[in-house]
Amino acid sequence: MKPVASPFVPIREGNALAELPTDVIDLWFAFPDEISDERLLSRYEQLLTDEERTQWRRFYFARHRHQYLVTRALVRSTLSCYADVAPPDWRFSRNAYGKPEIMPGLTELPIRFNLSHTDGLVLCGVVLRHDLGVDVEYRERKNAALNIAEHYFSAREVDDLLKLPASEQKNRFFDYWTLKEAYIKARGMGLSLPLDQFSFHLDGNRPPGISFDERCADDPRHWQFWRIKASEQHVAAVAVKSSANMGLSMKKVVPLSGATAFDCELL
Ligand SMILES: CC(C)(COP(=O)(O)OP(=O)(O)OC[C@H]1O[C@@H](n2cnc3c(N)ncnc32)[C@H](O)[C@@H]1OP(=O)(O)O)[C@@H](O)C(=O)NCCC(=O)NCCS
């Protein structure tokens, strides 16, 4: 199934805030290469804090600077769909491993979010209350290889990769990689959580499952995962810790401009 593009509509109708049911994860996909309107980009610039502007100017390559700007505009304008806080007014704290959360006191809504960016795609996932992790990867990146898997993945995942025909290994590698990153991002611990202590189980007919070895104190029953084909070149994964059955709502967005339903293929 190809992603369906319908006309872009304004993200917020008047002053109405978007409703986020407790059992839904909103996924907002932005494609930086499709955003070049100078007036829009200068509006993005105005959303940056002084610290973000300093960081933005530090990027050596224009492509990275552009991606940073779209990312900041995406997270700020997206969060403002749900709560009466203007995009430039969002402030964030980070945990000891760098995971950003909304600064306490800005809104009473228990909004959580997670971000991921790769060449050509930025994803912002939003949910109420639950621990959420998202990851996107560009499948054409050069360092996708079995030796990365052998170094970082669990023995079970490496075995599974080696059993596949060479033509299928790259896609499976990115499935594992994005799922593993989404999980460690949901846990908020980054790479301090060794990637070989848990394994994903991929069976085309079922959503991805997880198992943990004795070093990783966690329970597979608490987790739900998705793999998403976001474009021909991009794969995404989502991890959420929730005992309720969660659903995804996917949108393609141009920050501060408009959004459209984004009917991506679940892998
Ligand atoms: C956070 C981390 C897990 C992901 O980084 P990444 O995959 O390079 O980057 P992503 O674009 O997916 O995510 C970055 C965003 O995640 C968020 N983030 C940062 N630290 C985080 C953490 N501890 N937990 C959750 N989210 C975090 C931030 O919003 C960050 O974007 P920002 O700095 O622009 O705000 C990081 O620990 C890391 O360095 N990963 C390296 C990836 C790797 O080499 N993996 C080995 C092969 S599997």
Residue 121 within a domain: yes
- Minimal-distance CA residue to ligand 1 atom 2: 190
* Residue among 185, 234, 235, 240 to mutate when testing ligand 1 (max atoms within 8 A of CB): 185
Place of tokens 């659903």: 247
- Minimal-distance CA residue to ligand 1 atom 41: 191
Per-residue pLDDT tens for 174-190? Answer: 999 999 999 999 999 98
Residue 10 within a domain: no
Mapping DSSP onto H, E and C, the string for the chain reads CCCCECCCECCCCCCCCCCCCCCEEEEEEECHHHCCCHHHHHHHHHHCCHHHHHHHHHCCCHHHHHHHHHHHHHHHHHHCCCCCCCHHHCCEEECCCCCEEECCCCCCCCEEEEEEEECCEEEEEEEECCEEEEEEEECCCCCCCHHHHHHHCCHHHHHHHHHCCHHHHHHHHHHHHHHHHHHHHHHCCHHHCCHHHEEEECCCCCCCEEEECCCCCCCHHHEEEEEEECCCCEEEEEEEECCCCCEEEEEEEECCCEEEEECCEEC
d(CA 266, ligand 1 centre) in Å? 22
- Give the per-residue pLDDT at 83: 93
Residue 4 within a domain: no
Pairing state between β 258-261 and 247-254:
antiparallel
- Minimal-distance CA residue to ligand 1 atom 13: 116
Residue 228 within a domain: yes
* 2 has a pLDDT exceeding 60: no
Q: Show the ligand 1 pocket: residues with CB < 6 angstroms.
A: 71, 97-100, 114-117, 133, 135, 148, 152, 177, 180-181, 184-185, 188-191, 195
CB burial of 136-164 (b: ≥16 within 10 Å; e: otherwise) equals: bbbbeeeebeeeebeebbbeebbebbeee
CA 175 to CA 223: how far, in whole Å?
A: 17
pLDDT bin (cut points 50, 70, 90) of residue 14 is low
pLDDT bin (cut points 50, 70, 90) of residue 217 is confident
Top-confidence residue, 48 or 8: 48
Q: List the single range of 39-43, 83-87, 168-172, 248-252 with lowest mean pLDDT.
A: 168-172
Give the CATH number of the domain where residue 30 resides.
3.90.470.20
Residue 18 within a domain: no
Per-residue pLDDT tens for 28-71? Answer: 999 999 999 999 999 999 999 999 999 999 999 999 999 999 99
- Minimal-distance CA residue to ligand 1 atom 18: 99
Are the CB atoms for 242 and 64 separated by under 8 Å? no
Residue 19 within a domain: no
- Give the per-residue pLDDT at 8: 53
Domain that holds residue 176: 24-266
Per-residue pLDDT tens for 99-151? Answer: 999 999 999 999 999 999 999 999 999 999 999 999 999 988 666 677 889 99
**What is the CA 177 to chain-centroid distance, rounded?**
13
Residue 8 within a domain: no
* Count of domains for the chain: 1
Residue 15 within a domain: no
pLDDT bin (cut points 50, 70, 90) of residue 1 is very low
Residue 106 contacts by C-beta under 8 Å, 6 or more apart in sequence?
83, 85, 89, 90, 91
